[in-house]
Amino acid sequence: MKTSHPILRKLSIRWRYLIRRNNKLLTITAGFFLALLVTSSLAFFVTIALIELEVFGPMPDKRELMTIDHPLATELYTADSVLMGKFYIQNRLDMYPNEIPESIIQALLATEDIRFYSHHGIDFRSLGRVFVKSILMGDPNSGGGSTITQQLAKNLYPRQDYMFGSIVINKLREMVLAYELERIYTKRELLVLYLNTVPFGEDTYGLKAGAFRYFGKSPEKLNAQEAALLIGMLKGPSYYSPRLHGDRAMERRNVVLGQMAKYDILSEAEKDSLSELPVELNYTLLSNSNGIAPYLRAHLKTELQDIIKEVNNSQDASYNLEADGLKIYTTINSKMQFYAENAVHKHLASIQKVLNRELARDSWNRKSDLERLAEQKLKGMSKEEQETKKMVRVFDWNGEKDSLMSPKELVLHNLRMLNAGFMAMDSRTGEIKAWVGGINYKHFQYDHVLAKRQVGSTFKPFVYLSALEHGYGPDDLFVNDTVSYAAYDNWTPKNADNQYGGMYTLKGALTHSVNTVSANLILKTGISNVCQLAQHAGIETRLPHVPSLALGTAELSLFELVRAYQSFANMGVPVKPQLIKSVADRNGELLYAANTNTTAKGDSIASRESMETIVEMMKNVVDRGTARSLRYRYGLKGEIAGKTGTTQNQADGWFVGFTPDLVAGVWVGAEYPAVHFRSLRYGQGAYTALPVWANFFKELYSDQEFKQMASAKFAISDSVRVRVSESADYIQAPTMEDELQPKQVKIVAENTMATSMISQ
C-alpha cells in the first residue's frame, strides 16, 4: 500500500537511502576486516613457514628439545651437608617434579596461565588481545597472552632483534616452540622446566635458587605468601625485588593473592589475612666474598678443576665445574667452621683496639714505613688522585661502613688492620675441619692459611724431637748462657725475656721457650737432621740450613705447620691433609671419591718413645709454660699439647695446639711486618693467637656433639708419663743478663772442620 501522507513518504525515502548507504558502509568495513584477516592469516602462515625453514635463524630440533640443558650451579657442601657456596656461570638450581609445592603451582597458574591444563601451548582466547596490543599498538611489553609454555620457550631461547617485525616474529617463534614442547613433555614436566628457567634478579635463576636467596629455604617449605611473592617477582625481578623495593614487592604479592582468590584457590578471608602480613625475608647471599669459608672456596677451585680434569680423562666426559650442577662434599664441619670464624672475629676485634692505640702513640716512628707501603700500592696514581676523597665502603669490625676517604687513606686504613689464619684438622684422618683465611674475604683476599711467614718458636718442637732421637732425655740439663757462634758470623741468640743463668732440663727449655738452649740443641743434633725430620712430618718449604732455624726464622704457611704438628698428635704417623670427600653429578652419581688411606709413605717420623715424650713435653707447655693461659684464663680441661710462637718485633703471633682428636693452628699479624705491637706483652703469640684457639675449643667443648673430645687421652705409656712428669723445668732460677759472666768453650760447627771459640 502506498503512503499517501507527504511526511510519511519523505521518511520512507530517507529510510531506504540510509539502508542502502549503511549496507555499502558495512560491506566496505566487512571487506576491510576480511581482507585484513586473510592478509594476517596469510602473513601468519607464511611467517610460520619461514620460521620452520629457519629463515629467521636456527631452530632447535626435536632431539635438542628432548635434551634441554642449561648451566647449573655446582654446589659445595660441608661434610654434614650444609651448603657452603656455589661455582657457577649462572646461579641456577634445578628442581625435580616432586619438589614443587602446590602453593607455587596455584599461584603461578592463577597469575600467568589459568587455562594451562586445557590448551596445547597456545591460548587462542588470548591471541586477540595480543594481536591488538602487539601488532596494532606496537607495544613490546604487551604480556598477558603468552602461555607458560611460550614463556618457557622465551626463557630457553631468548628473543632476537630483526630488521623489522621483531615482536611478531619472536611471538610466532615462541608459539612454534611451545607447540613442539607440548608434544614432547607432560604438563608437570613443563612446569618444572619453566620454574627452573625463570630469573629472580641478582644473577639468580630458577625457583629453587630464588627460594634459597630470599627465604633461606627449599621450595617445598615455602608458605602461601612466600610463594605468592616469588611468583609476583616474575613480572619484573628487579622492579619487584623484596630486598630493594619492599613496598612494590608487597603490592605485587597481594595482586597474586587476589588472583588466587579470583579463581577460588583462596577464600576472600584468607586473601585478606595474607595480604595484611608484612614481607619477611631471610636473605641468604652465597657469593664469593661471603657465606661459609669463602677463603677455602677460593682455594678449592683450583683443586676441583684438577679433579674434574681427571674425571673427564678417565670417563671420556666433559664435565664443567661451573655449568654441570655437580655436588661436591668437603671435609669441613659446619659447626667447627662457624666456631672458628667467630673466634677469629671476636678476638681480633678486641686486640685491634690495642694495636690502634699503640700505632697512634708511635705514629711518628712508623709513619714513614706505612707511607712507603701505601705509595707502593698506589704506584701509577698521581698525587692528586691519591688524595682525592670520595665515599667508599670499608671494612669495620662492626660491619662494613661508608666513609669519605682518599685512596691513600683507604690503603693506610687496610694496612693497619690485623689479620689472621686458622686451620683445624683431624689428627688421625687428615680431614680438614675448619679453614679461616682472613678476617673478611671481600676486603682482604689474601689467604693467611697459605701465606708464608716466619714461624718463631712453633718450630722448636722439631728441634727437641731431634734431640730425643739423638739420645737426650727430658730431664737432661742445659746451661742457659748467652753464646756467640763464631762459625756463624758471631750469631748470638737472645732469650725473649733477657734472663740467663741457671740450668734448664730439656723439658723445661721447651716449656719456657728458651732460645739459648734451642740454639745449642740444633747444633748438637745437626741442622740437617732437624730439617729432614720436619720435612718428613709434612713441611714442604725448603728450610734454611742455619742455626737460627731453631728459633723459627723459616717462613712457612699455617697449612704446613698444622700438617706437621699432626704427626705429633698421631704419635709420629703423618697423614696427607684432605679437603674433598667426593664429587657427584647432578643426579647424585658418584664421579670421584677421595682415597681414605691417606697415610704418608714411609715409617713414623720418629720412634714411639720419642713421640710420646715430645707430646708429654708439649703438654707441659700448656700446663706450666707459655701456653698456660689455656688452663688458668680460659679454663680448658682435658689433654692439650702445643707451642706458642712470636717473631722479631712481634710481627707474627702463633699458636699451634692439639688434642688426641684435633690439631689446630692460629697465626695473627698484619699484612706487612712493619705493622706490629710495640711490646712483647701484647705482641706475643700467647696474647694474639692463643686466645683464638682457646675460644674455638671452648665453643667446641660446649657443644654436645663434640663434648666427648675433652675427655680423650693420648696413647702414652705410663713409664713415659712418669719420667716426664718427674722432670723439673730448671735448676737454679735464671737472672738478668747483666748479672751473668760469659764462659768460653769450644764447639765444632756443622758442615765445617774449624773449631771456634764461643760464649756459652
The answer for residues whose C-beta is within 8 angstroms of residue 515's C-beta and 6 or more apart is 493, 494, 495, 496, 550, 551
What pLDDT was estimated at residue 274? 95
Q: Angle at CA 266, nearest 5°, toward 260 and 272?
A: 95
Q: Give mean pLDDT, residues 144-156.
A: 86
Neighbours of 341 (CB within 10 A): 19
With 0-12 / 13-18 / 19 or more C-beta atoms within 10 angstroms meaning exposed / middle / buried, residue 682 is: middle
What pLDDT was estimated at residue 54? 59
Q: What 8-state DSSP symbol labels residue 99?
A: G
Q: What 8-state DSSP symbol labels residue 235?
A: T
Give the Å distances, CA to CA, from 585 to 43, 74, 128, 308.
47, 9, 46, 11
Between CA 139 and CA 91 the distance in angstroms is 31
What pLDDT was estimated at residue 741? 43
Closest listed residue to residue 298, CA positions, set 403, 158, 420, 444: 444
What pLDDT was estimated at residue 92? 85
Lowest mean pLDDT among 30-39, 141-150, 560-569, 697-706: 30-39
Task: For residue range 250-276, list pLDDT tens digits in order.
Answer: 999 999 999 999 999 999 999 999 999
Find out whether 196 and 99 touch, Cβ atoms under 8 Å. Answer: no
Q: Give mean pLDDT, residues 582-586.
A: 94
With 0-12 / 13-18 / 19 or more C-beta atoms within 10 angstroms meaning exposed / middle / buried, residue 224 is: buried
- How would residue 90 be classed by pLDDT, with cut points 50, 70 and 90? confident
- Residues forming a β-bridge with 755: 748
Task: For residue range 483-495, list pLDDT tens digits in order.
Answer: 999 999 999 999 9
Lowest mean pLDDT among 90-104, 166-180, 647-661: 166-180
Find out whether 48 and 282 touch, Cβ atoms under 8 Å. Answer: no
This prediction has a pTM of 0.82
What pLDDT was estimated at residue 144? 55
The answer for residues whose C-beta is within 8 angstroms of residue 398's C-beta and 6 or more apart is none
Specify the residue for cell string 635438542: 64
Find out whether 150 and 178 touch, Cβ atoms under 8 Å. Answer: yes
- Helix 268-275, helix 224-233: angle, nearest 10: 70
Lowest mean pLDDT among 136-140, 446-450, 526-530: 136-140
What pLDDT was estimated at residue 739? 41
As a three-state string, the secondary structure of 408-419 is: HHHHHHHHCCEE
Give 329 or 157, the one with higher predicted confidence: 329
Task: For residue range 392-450, list pLDDT tens digits in order.
Answer: 999 999 888 899 999 998 999 999 999 999 999 999 999 999 999 999 999 999 999 99
Between CA 196 and CA 189 the distance in angstroms is 11
Task: For residue range 39-57, list pLDDT tens digits in order.
Answer: 666 666 666 666 666 566 6
What pLDDT was estimated at residue 543? 97
Encoded amino acid at 252, one letter: R
Task: For residue range 591-638, list pLDDT tens digits in order.
Answer: 999 987 655 555 899 999 999 999 999 999 999 999 999 999 999 999
DSSP 3-state of 369: helix
Q: Angle at CA 413, nearest 5°, toward 411 and 419?
A: 100
Give the Å distances, CA to CA, from 330 to 232, 433, 580, 594.
37, 9, 4, 10
Q: Give mean pLDDT, residues 356-378.
A: 75
Res 142 pLDDT > 60: no
Question: What share of the chain in percent tops pLDDT 90?
Answer: 64
Find out whether 159 and 170 touch, Cβ atoms under 8 Å. Answer: yes
